[in-house]
Chain A
């Protein structure tokens, strides 16, 4: 390095990485809580429970609700990933009509608000279907899962397309010259290389869908946010309970999503193609 002209060096961005929490944040949180504690405990002298005691009392129920949120997110992710994989491959297929159709579907579901898609699924899917003589009921939570799977599908479709596109063309050409059929090339050569690139954005989508599951409460599915509202009503609807109860919901999601975010960032750095 010494002796080289610093002005003419090629530019490289300093590696600062995304912001993360440090021990200092814990201290800051502790200070903030200590400042708020007198307010939270002052009400404890009266007959009703203090806000923190209320949260503690209902924690099992609220966590059960959170578990249901996670269940919705797993199911939506599984369905959405499977469908999105197919749609993404269709976007890359050889049939022009299929390609156009897949592209249009992807764009449509990617550009609509998630809440609107949820309404879409809730209202337009019948509450039961009849196949032959068997009536299969479709409960609200199942429709909500489908409603969440739709945007996941579109996002996964774009991830698959982007990942396949990022594989260098010579890979296709050499597979071709080794007499692989297009299908074999895709499944045995291109896709195995893509999986690695798809994992970080896929985890991102997962984190987003987990955070979106609370929207199910808007369309009447009982999950954590609905339960939080009910707990608040059950405790007499005191206005000072809102902040701790919703704060608890924020905390649950944060504790779940932040590690995923960190892991995504780490994988992204590791898989980075320079």
Chain B
């Protein structure tokens, strides 16, 4: 670790390339915390959005027309509006309408903080896309398979959970993969409501150290590495789930 710090300190002195995040403990800490926040945001939103997608796709097949329409309305609205405006709408619009407590110094303590609102809006945004993705997967499951499950006494929920969803998941993994990568990239929007994720941390660092080009390269490299990691995990998962003789 020290050698790395030493190298970048020397690099700065020799060439003027100022990579503060690698030798300045304060900046490094901020950067790492930013990356950690990005990972936290992504992992929680990915989990929630998959749950939203699964539940939404199940409700889309529900016999109750009202439920189906509600889900369809949710999907259509969230797919066709800008995610940044959604975040603002949730954080400012709904956040200020919710009841809040006041701390000892009289400051307003909202019920949900900015990180939580970011997670909620990002999950809903990606979840709307996931509903669509899961729906396409479910449509690819043969009707006869569902009938066979029903013949074996599965309930509608049971057949969905144990028969349809596992098969559908395998079909729609590639598009799910795409959407989750997109979600990871969308987490940068949390910057706008001051969530201290990677972009926010970097902005602070380059404002103080005046090293925009260097930090910009680190920032881009960070996101490419994170996206690469996610794609790698998804491919591992895809391979682990592959059914022999099904698909390529």
Listed in ascending order, the chain A residues whose CB lies under 8 Å from chain B are 6-7, 11, 13-14, 16, 18-22, 24-25, 28, 108, 111-116, 119-120, 123-124, 207, 211-215, 217-218, 225, 239-240, 242-247, 249-250, 253-254, 257-258, 261
Is B223 positioned at the interface, with any CB of A under 8 Å from its CB?
yes
Structural contact, B72 and A214, CB atoms closer than 8 A: no
The docked-state distance in angstroms from the alpha carbon of A245 to that of B216 is: 33
Whether A119 contacts B80 by the Cβ 8 Å rule is no
Do the beta carbons of A14 and B139 come within 8 Å of each other?
yes
7 A-B contact pairs sorted by A residue (CB < 8 Å): A18-B132, A19-B73, A22-B72, A217-B84, A218-B192, A242-B88, A250-B82
Q: How far is the CB of A269 from chain B (nearest CB, A)?
A: 13
Distance between Cα atoms of A22 and B75 in the complex (Å): 13
Residues of A within 8 A of B96 (CB): 239-240, 242-243
Q: How many A-B Cβ pairs are below 8 Å?
A: 144
Q: How far is the CA of A120 from the CA of B92 in the complex (A)?
A: 27
Q: Is the CB of A20 within 8 A of B72?
A: yes
**Taking each of B77, B82, B216, which has the highest tally of chain A beta carbons within 10 Å of its own beta carbon?**
B82
CB within 8 Å for A212 and B82 given contacts A6-B144, A111-B223, A218-B192: yes
A123 touches B212 (CB 8 A): yes
Selected contact of B216 from candidates A119, A217, A250, CB within 8 Å: A119
Closest to A21 in B: B76
A271 to nearest B CB, angstroms? 17
Inter-chain CA distance A32–B103, complex, in Å, is 34
Contact A215 B97 (CB under 8 A): no
Query: Do residues B73 and A21 form an inter-chain contact, with CB atoms below 8 A?
Result: yes
Q: Say if the beta carbon of B44 comes within 8 Å of chain A.
A: no
Which residues of chain A come closer than 8 Å to B71, judged between CB atoms?
19
Q: How far is the CB of A132 from chain B (nearest CB, A)?
A: 26
- Inter-chain CA distance A218–B96, complex, in Å, is 21
The answer on a CB contact under 8 Å between B69 and A111 is: no
Q: What residues on A are CB-neighbors of B144 within 8 Å?
A: 6-7, 11
CB of A19 within 8 A of CB of B85, answer: no
Q: Is the CB of B69 within 8 A of A123?
A: no
Query: Which B residues are in CB contact (< 8 Å) with A28?
Result: 69-70, 73
Given A112-B223, A113-B185, A214 contacting B85 (CB threshold 8 A): yes
Chain B residue with the shortest CB-CB distance to A238: B96
- Determine whether the beta carbon of A211 is less than 8 Å from that of B77: no
Which B residues from 82 to 102 make CB contacts under 8 A with A? 82-86, 88-89, 92-94, 96-97
Shortest distance in angstroms between B92's beta carbon and chain A's nearest beta carbon? 4
Query: Quick check: A243 and B94 within 8 Å, CB to CB?
Result: yes
Scan residues 106-160 of chain B and give those whose CB is less than 8 A from a CB of chain A: 132, 135, 139-140, 142-144
Nearest A residue (CB) for B96 = A239
Taking CB as reference atom, which chain B residue is nearest A22?
B69
